[in-house]
Every structure is written in structure tokens, then in C-alpha cells.
Amino acid sequence: MTDTSTRSADGRDVDELDIAPETGWNALFLDGEWVPAGDRDLIDVENPATRTTLTTVPSATEDDVDEAYAIAEDAQSAWGQRPPQERAAIVSDACALLGEYADDLEWLFAVECGGVQLKADFETQLAQGTMEVGAGLAMRDGGRRKDSVTPGKENLLVREPAGVVGVITPWNFPLYLTSRVVAPAIALGNSVVLKPDEHTPLMGGLVLARVFEEAGLPDGVLNVVPGYGHEIGDHFSGHSVPSVMSFTGSSEVGRGVGQRAVGAYTEPALELGGNNAHVVLPDADLERAIDAGAFGSFTHQGQECISITRHVVHESLYDEYVAGLADRAAQLPIGDPREEGTLVGPVINESQRDKIVGFLEESVANGATVEAGGGHDGLFIEPTVLSGVTSDMPVACNEHFGPVAPVIPFETDEEAIEIVNDTEYGLSGSVHSTDVARARDVADAMETGMVHINDQPLNDEPHVAFGGVGASGLGRYNDEWIMDTLTTLKWISIQREPREYPY
């Protein structure tokens, strides 16, 4: 890696973040060093809009994973003993650097992830937010005192770093979904080994390594091993060294990650898939519900685990809702994310496109009607609205992960709840009604980890618990809830007075 230098408006020397492909990303990040690819296989990083290769990164081997974990294990003890304010300061500095490099990050979001400016701004702000909250965790109460049932005894519950944290992150929100684990893990005194998704190894890993390197993180505390999941994923998630294994991705892959982690006595933290419903009750503000529905379905091409997957709309509003949503979908500008005004970019790859198109075609063959969109060109899929959808159609019973809005009618609140809960997933959802008490009754009955009233499911706040139930995962991310995962409580008792024993 090479550095350039410039001066900010206040005269400070500022390192620029080298993210252009020509600066070279063909390295692993191990023990504070950028390790060249050598004779390792290479991963092509492609721009999904143009289908051109941006750069290449090394495909890490199982030996690289072993080395990364060994380095992290060696580094953790000293790092965990550093004063909490020092750990917090480094995470805070990394947060500030993300703000300084926002324009550069926006470009990289577009060319690596297919993310438009709106998504890039949103994700950068989320990443900064989770770093701010994560830095604050370092200074939280490290434990507590509890009274004892034994005379003369004092009980202490001491919070300690979990140790080494393994992190596997996805391609859809790579910077944020990595930062929300890495930042609090580091602030709390852990070391980290990170495997970003092979489609986004820069934003999902190497860029963050560069930012923390510049922030002054000691060598070995963060190590990044890009690689194909099918080659090193099992070895990574079933490794004997980490104390915590964080995985964000599909439920199918997550099940295996969790099983391997538990088999190695590693605590799994899993945020998996979703089949999220947007419920529109008969007394809803229709325009408000349509606004929320369009945003929740089409932002970042629907490639979010908390996107709306099903629009469940009362029959009295159904036709108007479908027409209004179709009108919104038809007006959304599609194109290269680098072009000003683009709101819908490409999906990530051919496999994802083929899955979405297959779900669409099969659902139409089974009786669904395309009210807007339905076409595709390359990796660009038109924002699509479908009417006449039933819960058993592929676009409704699967996490399609695309810019597709199937609309399902219902007659009673009870039927709406039945439709919502007719899935193995339980991540997020939303309910629209002018009667908040009625909406709350429906929200309470939805078997999901998060519900948003008079909004849409696409919500995440770094200081609020985030997670699902069922096939949508285990545990909660953000703030004190991820702190529980990333630390261990140790019970230490002190017998301050002689104790009488029965023998």
C-alpha cells in the first residue's frame, strides 16, 4: 500500500485513503502488514454496473486463516490490558476518518457494491454511528457487585473481553455490517479476524483495515483474510481459536456456520435472512404507506435482509395501493450508480439476478400479474410490482433479495397476521394504521424481532437492539446487546471473614 499526503484547511497533515484500484489492493492484512498475494489464487473484484474488473485481491488459504487466528490470539492479551480510553480513542479516530473519506467511499460503494449515492451516504453514516456507539462501550461499567447469601462474602461480576472474534460479513452493506462488529469488538479489548465476502473484499474488509491502520491500531488486533466462502469458510467458522463467531448472511449458510462454531465451543452471533411484511390496515394513510412501501422495497435494489419482501394490504385499499406503488416504481431512475440522480443500480452478480428473475417468471406463470417493471438488462432489474400474489408463490415465500414488490390482499387483521407469520423467518416488519393501538396489536402478534409502526422495515439504529427470531438468526447486535456477546462475565467471590463449614 502507498500513501499520499495533503493538508487540510486547518493546516494539518492528512493521509489520503488509497482506494483507487491502481493503488493496489492485492494483499492480505496480517499483523499490521500488507502481505502480497504471492502464489495465491486471485479474486477478481468486478464493477456490477459495467462488468469490468476493478482490481484483484488474494484468495486466502486455510494456512492463512490459521496464521491470522494465531496472530490475533497473540495480540489480544496486550490489547485487552490497554486502558479503555486508549481503545475508545482509536475507534473514534477511525470513525472520524470515515467522515474525511466520505467522497472516496461513495465512489467505491458505486463501483464495487453497485450502491447509489443515497445508499452510500446512508451506509457511511451507519458505519460512523456504530463506531461512535462502539467506542463508548469501552468506558461502560466493567462489572457489578452482588450481595451474597454466605456471611462475610462479597460477589463481584467482572466483565472481560471475550478474546478473539471471528467475523464473516456479506456483500450488500459491507462497510456497515463489518463495522458494527469490528468496532465494538476492538473497543472492548478483543482482537479480530475478518473474512469479507468475496464480492466486496475492499469495502467489507481491506478499506476498514486501512482506516484502523491509519488510526493507530496496534499490529495484530485486526487481521483481514479475503477468500471464497466455499474454500475457507468452514475452516474459518469452525476454528478452535475464536471465542465468538459473528456471521451475517443467508439462513442456509448461517445454519452451518452456527453449527461449526458451537462444535468448537465458540459463541455464535448470527444475523440471517428475512421475509419481511409491510402490513397496510384498512384505516392506514394510503399515501404514507405507499411512500414507505416504495422506499422499503427498492432501496439498494432490495438487497437488504430487512427490505420489504411482501406487501400485505387490506382488500379495501388493495387496488389503489397497487396502482400507487406501481407508479412510484415506474418513475425510479435506473442506471450506473456513479451517474447523478440514479436511484436504482445493478444487483451484485449473475447468480443473484438469475434467482430473482426465476422467482418472477415462476410467480407470473402461477397467476401473478406484473403491474410495473418485470424486465432486466444485464444486472439491472427494473423495480417490479406484482398483483394477484398468494403466499405460496416464489416471490412471496422466499427472500428474493431484489427490487420486487409482491402485493398480497387480506380481509381481516387476523388473516393479515396469519399471512405475515407464514414463514420460517422473523427479522423485521412494518404496520400502517391511523389507530396506533390497533397497529400495536398487530405488531405484537407478528413473530419477528423488529416491527416499525407507520414506517417500513428498513431501519437500523446503532444504539437499539437489532436481530430476529427463527431462521433470521441468534442474538442481537448494537450497543449493550452486542457488548454481552463480545465480553465474558466472570464471577469472583471474596470471603472477607472466616467461614464456618459443616465439617
DSSP per residue, 213-265: HHHTPPTTSEEE----HHHHHHHHHT-SS-SEEEEES-HHHHHHHHHHHHHTT
- Residue 25: per-residue pLDDT: 81
Q: What SS3 class is residue 480?
A: helix
- Residue 3 pLDDT: 37
Q: Which residue among the candidates 305, 371, 382, 399 is catalytic per the annotation?
A: 305
Q: How confident is the model at residue 99 (pLDDT cuts 50, 70, 90)?
A: very high
Structure confidence at residue 348 (pLDDT): 97
Mean pLDDT of 100-104: 91
Segment among 23-32, 132-141, 292-301, 433-442 with least mean pLDDT: 23-32
Q: Which residues, in sequence order, are CB contacts of 339 under 8 Å at separation 6+?
A: none
Q: Which of 370, 288, 358 is nearest to 329 (CA)?
A: 370
In this predicted model, which residue has the larger pLDDT, 18 or 434?
434
Same domain, 235 and 300: no
Residues 68 and 178 reside in one and the same domain:
yes
Q: The domain spanning residue 144 has which CATH number?
A: 3.40.605.10
Residue 253 belongs to some domain of the structure: yes
Does 3 fall in a domain?
Answer: no
Summarize the confidence of residues 362-371 as an average pLDDT.
98
Does any domain span residue 467? no
Q: Kindly report which listed range (31-35, 142-146, 390-394) carries the lowest average pLDDT score.
A: 142-146
Has residue 9 got a pLDDT over 50?
no
Give the range of the structural domain holding residue 17, as residue numbers without chain letter: 13-272+472-489
Q: 107 with 212, same domain?
A: yes
Identify the pLDDT of residue 20: 58
Is residue 305 among the annotated active site residues? Answer: yes
Grid coordinates given for 439: 397497529
Residue 95 lies in a domain: yes
443473484: which residue's cell?
A: 352
The pLDDT assigned to 4 comes to 33
Whole-model pTM? Answer: 0.93
Q: 287 and 260: one domain?
A: no
If you write DSSP's letter for every residue of 108-171 in order, what string do you get? HIIIII---HHHHHHHHHHHHHHHHHHHHHTTS--EEEE--SSTTEEEEEEEEE--EEEEE--S
All three cell numbers of 352, joined, read 443473484
Does residue 28 contact residue 64 with C-beta atoms inside 8 Å? yes
Rg of the chain over CA atoms, in angstroms? 24
10-53 pLDDT tens trace: 232 334 556 555 556 889 999 999 999 999 999 999 999 999 99
Q: Nearest CA to 346 among 335, 355, 354, 361? A: 335
Residue 398 clears pLDDT 90, i.e. is over it: yes
Is 444 part of a structural domain of the chain?
Answer: yes
Domain assignment present for 114: yes
Question: 150-160, pLDDT tens digit by residue?
Answer: 999 999 999 99
Q: Is 447 a catalytic residue?
A: no
Q: What pLDDT does 8 receive?
A: 28
91 band by pLDDT with thresholds 50, 70 and 90: very high
Catalytic option among 271, 304, 371, 382: 271
Segment 463-483 shows an average pLDDT of 96
Q: Are residues 265 and 287 in the same domain?
A: no
Tell me the average pLDDT of the chain: 94
119 and 248 in a single domain? The answer is: yes
pLDDT class of 143 with cuts at 50, 70, 90: confident
Residues 137 and 227 both lie in one domain: yes
CATH of the domain at 309: 3.40.309.10
Residue 257 lies in a domain: yes
On whether the CB atoms of residues 374 and 360 are closer than 8 A, the answer is yes
> How buried is 345 (Cβ within 10 angstroms: 0-12 exposed, 13-18 middle, 19+ buried)?
buried
Indicate whether 449 pLDDT > 90: yes
State whether 151 and 163 are in the same domain: yes
Query: Looking at the structure, do residues 151 and 209 belong to the same domain, yes or no?
Result: yes
284 pLDDT higher than 50? yes
Q: How many domains does the chain have?
A: 2
- Assigned domain for 459 exists: no
DSSP letters, 283-350, are: TS-HHHHHHHHHHHHHGGGG-STTSEEEEEEETTTHHHHHHHHHHHHHHS-BS-TTSTT--B---S-H
Q: Are residues 205 and 181 in the same domain?
A: yes
What value does the mean pLDDT take over residues 49-76? 96
Following DSSP, what letter does each residue of 406-432 receive, concatenated? EEEEESSHHHHHHHHTSSSEES-EEEE
- The number of angstroms, rounded, from the C-alpha of 4 to the middle of its chain's C-alpha atoms is 31
